[in-house]
Structure 1
Amino acid sequence: MEKMRRVLYALISVLLLSIIIPFGSTSKSSGEEVLNANGHKERAIGIEPLDVSKNFKRFTYDSGLNFEYPDAVRGIYVTGNSAGGSRMDSLIDLVDSTELNAMVIDIKEDNGNLTFKPEKGSPYEEMAKPYIDDPHKMLKVLEEKGIYPIARVVVFKDSVLANKRPDLSFKQNGKVWVNGKDEAFVNPFKKEVWEYNVEIAKMAAEIGFQEIQFDYVRFPEGFENRDKELDYTLGDYKDSKKGNVKRRVEAVTDFVAYAREELENYGVDVAVDIFGYAATVEETPGIGQNFSKISENVDVISSMIYPSHWTSHFGIENPDEEPYKLVNEYAELENKLLDGLDNPPVSRPWIQDFEAPWLYDGPVKQYGKSEVEAQIKALKENGINEYLIWNAGNSYTENVDFAL
């Protein structure tokens, strides 16, 4: 009887909603998505707090594009500038003519700018740079080539939003705090920041991207040394009895879980980039990353395991000079962690195709065909068949055997 009563209440609720919010309605309120008379979605999103209680579950979104998940994703990083410029042709040729099959394309880049212009009147319009003239058209080309598209969304490193809304950032002496690279971050404790970024991810999904890769899902590096000297709010975490480290881990993990839930109806996978060293500790003291907790809330985990970014943690004196050994050691460690999870994500690490001159006083270790292949080989020997290749300038080594 109780079960029948619940079913009856659910049917009545659906009927009432259909009366209150008829199909084709053009009325909008903050945070809601509606269909206009032509069947197109409209969203009233500001960078004011959104009332998430007004978000209703809806049908799975169909972008009109059709991509198949590759046998194993093997991709390269592409900036918005490259994606919207003449270099895109050569990058497409690289992927199309090799065993590569995917591109990670900036949709929200490191400064906080969108890399394309959203529709006129969008609250994100002034945060956008017109690098990519027509992102849907770009994805149509990738569809024809069978290249799997992944949207990179940089989350908490965001100088644009921090300067526009200092209340969402960290302040010092009344001004927005910046790190040694003159970069500002926004506050992971603020759920308004979560919503702001997830709405961008939804736009990327609507354009046709098959996966959303969130990067900089963390507090600023070294935050454990400055958390007491910066001014910021703890938001909904102000009453938490946990210490500062665990509170940061909780906020970062909660964001990832929130993003995945919000994107559930868009038919996209959710990925997170994470520091490689996060796998070597229970939880990072400053940046708020816990490898296992983040992994439990994503479809894909992408550890940044560039040999140049490691110290001698694995007993390798100069990791940049021994890419195979470094990646092999890391892969063994990561496999043990993922094996301990009930539902482990796909492992798809970022590997290195660039030089690290800051490590050397003399000649710099060059990264070319053998170094890139050494990393791929080490991953594959540990059962990790997916990977992404990073080069900030999008200049990738030629003649690499990407399917070792």
Structure 2
Amino acid sequence: MTATEPALPAALAAPTPPLAARARSVGGSPVRDILAVTARPEVINFAGGLPAPELFDADGIAAAYRAVLAEAPARALQYSTTEGEPALRAALAERTGARGLPTDPDDLLVTTGSQQALSLLATALLEPGDTVLVENPCYLAALQAFGLAGARVVAVPGDERGLDPEALEDLVVRERPKLLYTVPTFQNPTGRTLPAARRAAVAGTAARHGLWIVEDDPYGELRYEGERVPWIAAHPGAEDRTVLLGSFSKVMAPGLRLGWLRAPAGLRRACAVAKQAADLHTPTVNQLAAARYLADHDLDAHVRRVAGVYGERRDAMLAGLAAALPDGSAWSRPEGGMFLWARLPEPYDTTALLPRVVRRDVAYVPGAPFYAADPDRSTLRLCFVTQTPEEIAEGLRRLGAGLRGEGTPRR
């Protein structure tokens, strides 16, 4: 067609090339879909993994931004290194070392949220068809990241204490996976914590058979009771094969979009190259503000305050579940984190029941999307940190009415 020829009618134009197979095969996040449907202010939303906004240290964070922009505006608003701002990496290394894992700033790569770290690792490690082992059930966005990489995702059987080390050993021998992905502390979605002995067994399996471990720890600092369990990365045999992921989203503020990964040098360099292709670097001003906040404020004291409030909210949800859920239900009792996992008796299907419950202005996340295969459709995830104890009590009253199909919906 020349410049003077008229354009073809849309009905006669050739179609555009199709989307990539990975984009066609991996769906969106059901959690995000539920949040869009339940954005009305009257909804008591147990669906999102949202920290309580009234507990953000907004004044302290704002002061950190003001200081950075007043003292070093040219640097704060300029491009930065892909690996991350030195001041922030030094502070993160110090915090990691204080929690039992000696770390050098050069061991770390700052990411735009720890979710980006998963994408970078998938790019750096996975070929289409590679096998990835995950917990059962598993963090939903990890399933998305591995699915977009074309991986074959296989779930490791487990129980209320987490994945089964013997089952893991058998799967590693049989499937020859590239990596194991785990959230061993206050897991999303179940809230469970993997005991120290099982962590040591996981490290041993990885060392014997050649396996990367991706240890995601966004919730570990939010402990309400019990003793801290050391990272898998700190166990003998795991030193050269574990990637530890961290985040400020749950302890400072998710809007900062600040995460990091700690990895052996070769893999860390590969992730840096992948990050250059993705976004070049995490926003400089956010990194410098976070570093300034850590220098000027006691983040650990802030986290203790937040954890105290969250513990009260967990207790409020635990106190009301027996009346809200059908007889024969069972649920977890997490020692920290943000989530509680419940299983209803058969034949309840929490996906099918959700619209009926939402009509009563309350929401949860059905458990089915958290499974790599063979979902348990009687399960659901409840986030207990965003609402007050009074709102939790009312939300559970609505949830119980919705599950039982009682009365007239609120709208």
Give TM-score scaled by structure 2 length: 0.28
The structure with higher relative contact order (CA 8 Å, sep 6+) is 2
If each structure's helix is expressed as a fraction of its own residues, which one has the higher value?
2
Instruction: Give me the TM-score of the superposition, normalised by structure 1.
Output: 0.29
